[in-house]
Chain A
Amino acid sequence: MSNTDLEIIVEDPTAPEDDSPSVVSTRTIEIIVSLVLLALAIMLGFDNWRTGIAWDSTGPQPGYFPFYLSVILGGASLYGLITTFFARSGGSGTFVTRAQLRRVALVFIPTALFCLATQFLGIYVASFVLIAGFMRMVGKIALWKSLLTAFVFTAIMFVTFDVAFDVIMPKGPIEIGSRSLGL
């Protein structure tokens, strides 16, 4: 085997440890998901039953088709719940370890904050903050690189969507203010 052409190497300094303890098992999550889906099926089934699942002069009422789908969803969820509950083996592996959960939270929480910030700051300012903040705080990348990358990417997005393709994005006070100043 020749290793002379091994040229692309990217290290991951924040990689999750292999021996991290399990937070929750796959079996538990399967049971929770089945219960949630069963509740959803009952809720949607009830709403469709209220809307009408019978026949009238124009044919099947609006709730007819989705009502039976709710029944199918409920039946399949119940089946999943029973089989998972009574399964002696299988599906009992780890759903997520503590280290993995921490890494997922490192993306999920900033993404949720980004969605919230978009409502108040506009999508471009929120994007700039997300990219720069994520690169600096999670990736430990140099501040100037993080700021420059965030600025360039946000500018490309703005030019592509708002200018070239005329797709209007949500704007916040900074974007509206800079536009009114003619920037």
Chain B
Amino acid sequence: MEAFGLLMHGFAVLMTWKIISLMVVGLVLGIFVGVLPGLGGPNGVAILLPLTFTMDPTSAIVMLSCIYWGALFGGAITSILFNIPGEAWSVATTFDGYPMAQQGKAAEALTAAFTSSFIGSLVAVMLITFLAPMISSFALKFGPPEFFAVYLLTFCSFVGLGREAKHKTVISMALGLLIAGIGMDTVSGNLRMTFGSDNLLRGINFLVAVIGLFGISEILLTMEERLALRGHAAKISLRTVLKVWMDLPKYWVTLLRSSVIGCWLGITPGGAIAASFMGYNLAKRFSKDPESFGKGRIEGVFAPETAAHASGTAALLPMLALGIPGSGTAAILLGGLMVWGLNPGPLLFVEHKDFVWGLIASMYLGNVVGLVIVLTTVPVFASILRVPFAAVAPMIVVSCAIGAYAIQNAMFDIWLMLGFGVVGYVFKKIGIPLAPFTLALVLGSRAEDAFRLAMIGSGGSVGVFWSNGLVGTITTLAITLLFWPVIDRAFAAVARIWRPTPVTT
């Protein structure tokens, strides 16, 4: 009940014209970012972050989180109308969404996508509302060893549970952690890895890296492809919306199952991509008519969209409660909090109640307003794709440069952005994942500080990470996840040995 009261206080914080306007602006910008080829949630948030530097933290985070919701909504438009997934988590939406559009049911498919996005997000926000305060009050008991163990758990689960080659994830993460350590050491004041360069004294800002890695590299990748589009125009009528909504109760199991999958994979670093595919596959497996999937079945739109959005939203839970983001975009939002001098983690709930509950309330309100905006403006956003890419590409480049410069007012950062753009392009093409890189960049200095404090406390003994039941459990779990592929294979081998051999007669 306490959470409910605080949430109501959060709504009261939001109810100003200024914040509501920022919310609408953020959502529109976000949908725009989601629809445009070459832009997506993470770089959209990173590029637009400098706009919020002069705002108070609550207004700023409301606008940024609304860009995030908007980008999540926008991805479905291109998937369904053009068979072009704006983001990787929208791929599964194309399986049934595009066939529906081909059958003249684009409006139904879009309504289903937006509604299920809303439902997935809503379930995840409810989870955040009631779980985040509990986790954060529990985490108040954490000391440096526990915090380092949690960081280790995050890093190890990326390596152990990720789909990419393990050494590539390790490379991505180690490189991110090393780059985060460039500049002045916060404890001793010594310079590290600067090689005498004045520009590296202040370190490499992770936002500059993110803008290059996601924004510039995406432009280069998009240019490689044939940019011809052939798709459907759609207009959503109130009648269609009501028809889809009336049918919703029929799919309650799919919606619930996908929400649970999404929330789970959002809190753990499984991510929205895995969630959307898992949601789709399970909907197909449990269906009475699995053959109809892939041919324009509305359930095939409900399942991945609900799971992806539940996951994208739930990724904010560990960010708020522990200061550990569950996704790349959540990592950028976390970086935004640090820019405004807020320290994400358990203390945030104690020291900045207005801010935290304002943000949680904005998640509810942002999703409602977002749903209304996308349902009413689909033709406008779909027509953005008529703009030739030759006009869009330089505008994105300019936006990236302005964003990169504005972070520290440094010309060097524009060059860094370009360098990271090339790195991102090459890494994406050879399968080195960028999400662990971003996460490591954001968490690097915090993880190192926690490690050093823990080691100082123990006089240099790594036994501190098993010094009590809590930290020992987290560290052991981290190591188990790191070696999970090996453990999994060992279990499978044992199971094969014990399985009785079928007798053939």
Contact = CB atoms under 8 A, between A and B. Distances in A.
Interface string B225-244: 11111111110000000000
A26 interface: yes
Nearest to B230: A9
B429 A79 contact: no
A165 B224 contact: no
Interface in B192-247: 192-193, 195, 216, 219-220, 223-234
A40 B53 CA distance: 34
B interface, how many residues as a size bin? 35 or more
Nearest to B229: A10
Interface string A132-143: 001100111100
Contacts of B165: 80
Contacts of B432: 33
A72 to B, nearest CB: 5
Interface string A40-70: 1000100110011001001111111110011
A108 B427 CA distance: 16
Nearest to A7: B233
With most chain B CB atoms within 10 A of its CB, the pick from A131, A134, A167 is A167
A167 B391 contact: no
B388 interface: yes
A47 B228 contact: no
B181 A26 contact: no
Interface string B131-175: 000000000000000000000000000000000010110110011
Given A58-B188, A149-B391, A104 B223 contact: yes
B385 A8 contact: yes
A71 B118 CA distance: 45
Contacts of A63: 192
A114 B401 contact: yes
A5 B82 CA distance: 12
Given A69-B181, A96-B224, A165 B393 contact: no
B108 to A, nearest CB: 13
A96 to B, nearest CB: 7
A62 B393 CA distance: 42
A84 B195 CA distance: 31
A85 interface: no
Given A6-B231, A10-B228, A104-B224, A135 B394 contact: yes
B133 to A, nearest CB: 32
A166 B219 CA distance: 28
A16 interface: yes
A26 B232 contact: no
Interface residues of A, number: 80
Nearest to B188: A62
B192 A47 contact: yes
A157 B430 CA distance: 35
Interface in B400-439: 401-402, 405-406, 409, 411, 414-415, 418, 421-422, 425-426, 429-430, 432
A26 B406 contact: no
Contact of B231 (A8, A64, A135, A139): A8
Interface string A88-122: 00000001100010011011101110110011000
B505 interface: no
A7 B53 contact: no
B415 A115 contact: yes
A103 B223 contact: yes
Contacts of A69: 174, 177-178, 181
Contacts of B460: 55, 59-60
B386 A165 contact: no
A5 B398 contact: no
A102 to B, nearest CB: 10
Nearest to B414: A115
Given A111-B418, A115-B418, A8 B397 contact: no
Q: 10 smallest A-B Cβ distances: which pairs?
A: A139-B390, A7-B233, A59-B456, A73-B174, A62-B185, A134-B394, A10-B229, A15-B226, A12-B227, A12-B228
11 contacts: A12-B228, A26-B429, A61-B188, A69-B174, A72-B174, A118-B411, A119-B411, A130-B397, A149-B391, A161-B50, A161-B402
Interface of B: 50-51, 53-54, 81-82, 102-104, 106, 165, 167-168, 170-171, 174-175, 177-178, 181, 185, 187-188, 190-193, 195, 216, 219-220, 223-234, 382-383, 385-386, 388-391, 393-395, 397-399, 401-402, 405-406, 409, 411, 414-415, 418, 421-422, 425-426, 429-430, 432, 448, 451-452, 455-456, 460
